[in-house]
Structure formats: structure tokens, C-alpha cells
Amino acid sequence: MRSVEEDTVRDLPESATEPDGSAVVRVLSYNIRSMRDDVTALARVIRACRPDVVCVQEAPRFFRWRKAAARLARASDLVYVTGGATASGPMVLSSLRAHVERTEDILLPRTPGLHQRGFATAVLRFGGARLGVLSCHLSVDDQERYAQGRLLLDRVAALGVPHAIAAGDFNDRPHGRTFGLLASSLRDGWATAPWGREHTTRLGDPLQRIDAVFATPGVEILGCGVPMGLPGVAEQDLRAATDHLPVLAALRVPAA
């Protein structure tokens, strides 16, 4: 069995546009707990991962939430794409490399007594490659979460592009029925090409993998996991930034 140190001494492939029109895209999924922690540390972690796309969960969604989203994007050398309060928490940021073709935020059916949930979605183009993106934060209730998993698969299909990802905090583990539902149609990044650390709960908490990046079958997963040991990603920043660890994936997206 490999150690974390063996995995993280190497970086993931860099962002690139290939001669055949395909693109290597770095995707980061991160639950930021409404930016209630150390935002400077959070931005340092994001910048060090050098993402093309960031699927955020628990983005600010109340007073002056747009200003907070713009602050995070600016500090992370990214731009705001969609989501936040309009998706009840999920948000998408991107680098200037991405051309935004369209966006849509969706509010999901709500169970009385539970939090409102939603999806932040976009179609982005990287050179000749088009990528559908869905950021999500599913319910803590098993029954509602499973229904949201079905809606997620429907929404990925409705993006209308052959290559897409769904990334977020799934509040479920790989042996759970919602995680299994998604993995039956999409490819689980860590299970396909493990890299870095597996578990996404905060350092020192019980080991769990509840955050993930899923991709449609045509997307090649080059590596996926928590960027522990990645140059520039300091353990103290991971502890200070939020109560989740980020998931970083490098993907090769075929030309449209």
C-alpha cells in the first residue's frame, strides 16, 4: 500500500491544451464553510492547487454574499462564474483560461425542517474542449440525499455536453447508496486514479471520504485526491482554512 508521501511528491499534470484539441483541466472541489475561518489561508490553498475550475460548497449566501464571493475569487486569482445564494451554497469559480458558454443555478425540492439545497452549473470551454460543471452539497438526510442524487444525474445529462463533472460535498461515503448511485453512472475520481490523500474530513477528525469529483465516462481522470504535500499547500493552512479538506483532480477532456 502506498503512503501519502509517495503519492504527493509528484504533482498532477499541468493545465494544457493538446494539439488534438483536447484539454487538461485541473478541478478543485472545496467546502469553505461560508468563509467563516481564515480566508487568507483558504486563498493560499486554492492558489497553490492552480485550478482551472473550483466547485465550491457552503459559499456565503446571506448578507453581502456577492461581495464575499468576489473577495474570494480575487484573492484566489480566479473569477466568479455562478452560484452562491442563487444555488443555496454551491458556487463555481474559474481561471481566465475558461470561456463561459452558459450557466444555470437550480434550487432542489426541499424537505420541511431540512436545509434548502441546490446545484450551481455551467458549461465551460477550454480551447476545443467543452466541459459541463456541476457543484453540489447534498442533504444529510439519507432519503432526501438519494432523491437529490437522481436529480444530479438528470441535471448532468441536461447540460447537453458529452463531457461533464459533478463535484462537491456528498454527505455520503463510498459504501453509501447515494454515492453508489452516482458511481454506477459516473466515474469516481479517487477510485479511478487515486493521488494524494483519500479522506476529506478535517485533519484530526474521524477518517471519512464525503467529498469527491465524479466525471462522465469520456473524461480521462489523470489523478484525484486531497493535495496533502503538494508544494505550497501547507498543513497549517489546511487546518485554518475550513473544516473540510479540498479534492483536486486533473482531467483530460476530449475536443468537442
Could you list the residue range(s) of the whole structural domain that residue 122 is in? 4-253
Determine the Cα–Cα distance for residues 55 and 135; give it in Å rounded to an integer: 5
Place of cell 508544494: 231
Name the domain count of the chain.
1
The per-residue pLDDT for range 3-44, each reduced to its tens digit, is 444 444 468 999 999 999 999 999 999 999 999 999 999 999
Q: Which residues contact 152 (CB under 8 A, 6 or more apart)?
A: 119, 134, 136, 138, 166, 182
Q: What is the reported pTM? A: 0.95
What percent of the chain lies above the pLDDT cut of 90? Answer: 93
The per-residue pLDDT for range 129-170, each reduced to its tens digit, is 999 999 999 999 999 999 999 999 999 999 999 999 999 999
Q: Which residues contact 236 (CB under 8 A, 6 or more apart)?
A: 41
Q: How confident is the model at residue 192 (pLDDT cuts 50, 70, 90)?
A: very high
The per-residue pLDDT for range 225-253, each reduced to its tens digit, is 999 989 999 999 999 999 999 999 999 99
* Buried/exposed 156-190: b ≥16 CB within 10 Å, e otherwise: beebebebbbbbbbbbbebebebbebbeeebbbbb
DSSP secondary structure of 61-102: -STTHHHHHHHHHHHTT-EEEEESGGGTS-EEEE-TT-EEEE
Q: How confident is the model at residue 1 (pLDDT cuts 50, 70, 90)?
A: very low
Which domain CATH number covers 175? 3.60.10.10
Neighbours of 11 (CB within 10 A): 16
Determine the Cα–Cα distance for residues 42 and 143; give it in Å rounded to an integer: 32
Handedness of CA 221, 166, 35, 115 (dihedral sign): negative
Going from the C-alpha of 45 to that of each of 96, 224, 231, the distances in angstroms are 18, 16, 10
